[in-house]
């Protein structure tokens, strides 16, 4: 594949992409356009997992996009992953969102771990264990899920996780439950966040453990239905853990390091956004095609000559350009221990993309009109999928406003008398 030129405008917009970024963007675009777009309606209709897309991602090496090259992966860095994820989101939101859960497991343990403070012993331990996980992804095509949410304040970062792990000989005993575990039933490993159970001591978020629970473990169960409004192909059911034994090697990070990582790398919580930037692009692209009377299989009725529709498309494009700009700025400046301004921009980018995606999808339906929201067209699915972005913890739209307002008015440690 020619790494020099792109024949399309990527979902993130134009940019001086590196050769690797151009290559991966072209790969994602082709896979999405030629394979994922046509299948998206089926996963949505059935609320079933996009297994066929994962076969394609596996064959293309994209399950290992963030696995370091030294371990056989593609070695993409944070901005490259974020750009490619937006491109996939354009064609199938559920695939992009679940792929994010999988890739994040390799990003936390790989490129991001380098920026997290660890002792020499912890770093050596981490190097040995992460090798095992990378090998599983690269050689066996293993899929990792990222079940953090519990329906408590924990996933919002306001309380320790209620799921616990107690140290036993050779490993850990995990107990508890998770909700909204995307990839449930499809993942080989579930990257669970839990609190170390230290007996009598009060649970403390600093004792968060990040463990990979094999899906075949005795005591592990997937429960509950899955019939949501949107992102139906994520199959995000509940997980239950009853005295699940997990060996020491399944620690995705050394004891106490996840908590430090979450403090050091806020950009990690921005990785859900590219999916929704992709969805916003898809809604905009569809609107232009529809108003021009060029949607394949539809009567060639043009609606572009009405000034009100032209104004609406202009509004959509302005919002899309705003989303792309702040998104690109945020991903390019992402680093450990960002400045206050960089952190505020990250929050602003998250809010802009998550709320903006639904705004654009809403305008698309209003502008294209009643016939555009029929089930055989993608727009109504994009509308439903776009609604889910602002609900994702820890950075829901509400919590971002909450953080921004507080952090704008109070410096660290400041209190009112």
Ligand X SMILES: Cc1cc2nc3c(=O)[nH]c(=O)nc-3n(C[C@H](O)[C@H](O)[C@H](O)COP(=O)(O)OP(=O)(O)OC[C@H]3O[C@@H](n4cnc5c(N)ncnc54)[C@H](O)[C@@H]3O)c2cc1C
Q: Within 13 Å of residue 219, how many CA atoms lie on the same side as its CB? A: 13
358 in contact with ligand X (CB under 6 A): no
Question: 53 vs 146, which CB is nearer to ligand X?
Answer: 146
Q: Pick one of 69, 117, 127, 158: the residue that binds ligand X (CB under 6 A).
A: 158
Q: How far apart are CA 379 and CA 361, in angstroms?
A: 7
Q: Pick one of 104, 234, 238, 352: the residue that binds ligand X (CB under 6 A).
A: 234
60 in contact with ligand X (CB under 6 A): no
Q: Pick one of 19, 151, 170, 405: the residue that binds ligand X (CB under 6 A).
A: 151
Determine the interface stretch with ligand X among 44-52, 60-68, 346-354, 397-405 (rule: CB under 6 A): 397-405
3-state secondary structure of 167: strand
Q: Pick one of 137, 181, 349, 363: the residue that binds ligand X (CB under 6 A).
A: 181
CB 279 within 8 A of CB 382: yes
Number of residues that this document lists for the chain: 417
Determine the interface stretch with ligand X among 51-59, 292-300, 341-349, 394-402 (rule: CB under 6 A): 394-402
Q: Pick one of 23, 388, 395, 403: the residue that binds ligand X (CB under 6 A).
A: 388
User: What's the DSSP call for residue 377?
Assistant: S
231 in contact with ligand X (CB under 6 A): yes
Q: How far apart are CA 366 and CA 368, in angstroms?
A: 6
Q: Please provide residue 177's backbone torsions phi and psi, each rounded to the nearest 5 degrees.
A: -150, 155
SS3 content of the chain, % helix, strand, coil (to 5): 55, 10, 35
User: What's the DSSP call for residue 293?
Assistant: T
Determine the interface stretch with ligand X among 58-66, 73-81, 143-151, 364-372 (rule: CB under 6 A): 143-151
Determine the interface stretch with ligand X among 106-114, 149-157, 242-250, 338-346 (rule: CB under 6 A): 149-157
Q: Which residue stretches of 19-176 are H helix?
A: 19-31, 37-46, 51-59, 78-89, 93-109, 120-140
Q: Pick one of 21, 146, 287, 372: the residue that binds ligand X (CB under 6 A).
A: 146
* Chain residues in the site for ligand X (CB under 6 A): 101, 146-149, 151, 153, 155-156, 158, 180-182, 231, 234, 236, 388, 391-393, 396, 398-399, 402
């Amino acid at each position: 594949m020619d790494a020099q030129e792109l024949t399309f405008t990527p979902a993130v917009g134009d940019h001086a992409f590196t050769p690797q970024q151009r290559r991966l963007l072209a790969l994602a675009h082709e896979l999405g356009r030629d394979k994922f777009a046509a299948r998206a309606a089926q996963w949505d209709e059935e609320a079933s997992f996009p297994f066929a897309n994962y076969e394609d991602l596996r064959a293309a090496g994209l399950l290992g996009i963030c696995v370091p090259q030294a371990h056989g992966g593609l070695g993409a860095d944070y901005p490259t992953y974020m750009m490619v994820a937006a491109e996939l989101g354009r064609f199938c939101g559920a695939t992009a969102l679940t792929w994010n859960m999988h890739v994040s497991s390799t990003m936390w343990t790989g490129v991001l771990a380098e920026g997290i403070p660890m002792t020499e012993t912890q770093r050596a331990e981490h190097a040995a264990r992460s090798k095992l996980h990378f090998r599983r992804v690269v050689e066996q095509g293993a899929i990792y899920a990222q079940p953090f949410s519990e329906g408590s304040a924990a996933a919002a970062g306001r309380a320790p996780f209620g799921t616990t792990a107690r140290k036993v000989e050779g490993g850990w005993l995990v107990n508890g439950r998770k909700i909204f575990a995307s990839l449930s039933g499809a993942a080989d490993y579930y990257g669970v966040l839990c609190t170390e159970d230290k007996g009598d001591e009060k649970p403390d978020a600093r004792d968060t453990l990040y463990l990979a629970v094999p899906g075949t473990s005795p005591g592990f169960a997937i429960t509950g239905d899955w019939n949501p409004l949107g992102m139906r192909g994520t199959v995000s059911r509940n997980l239950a853990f009853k005295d699940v034994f997990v060996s020491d090697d399944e620690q995705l990070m050394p004891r106490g390091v996840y908590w430090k990582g979450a403090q050091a790398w806020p950009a990690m919580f921005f990785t859900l956004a590219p999916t929704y930037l992709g969805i916003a692009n898809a809604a905009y692209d569809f609107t232009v095609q529809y108003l021009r009377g060029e949607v394949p299989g539809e009567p060639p009725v043009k609606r572009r000559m009405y000034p009100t529709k032209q104004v609406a498309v202009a509004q959509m494009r302005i919002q899309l350009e705003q989303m792309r700009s702040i998104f690109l700025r945020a991903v390019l400046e992402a680093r450990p221990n960002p400045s206050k301004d960089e952190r505020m921009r990250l929050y602003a980018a998250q809010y802009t993309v998550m709320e903006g995606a639904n705004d654009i999808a809403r305008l698309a339906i209003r502008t294209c009109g009643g016939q555009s929201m029929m089930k055989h067209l993608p727009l109504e699915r994009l509308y439903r999928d776009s609604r889910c972005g602002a609900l994702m913890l820890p950075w829901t739209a509400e919590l971002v406003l909450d953080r921004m307002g507080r952090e704008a008015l109070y410096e660290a440690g400041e209190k009112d008398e």
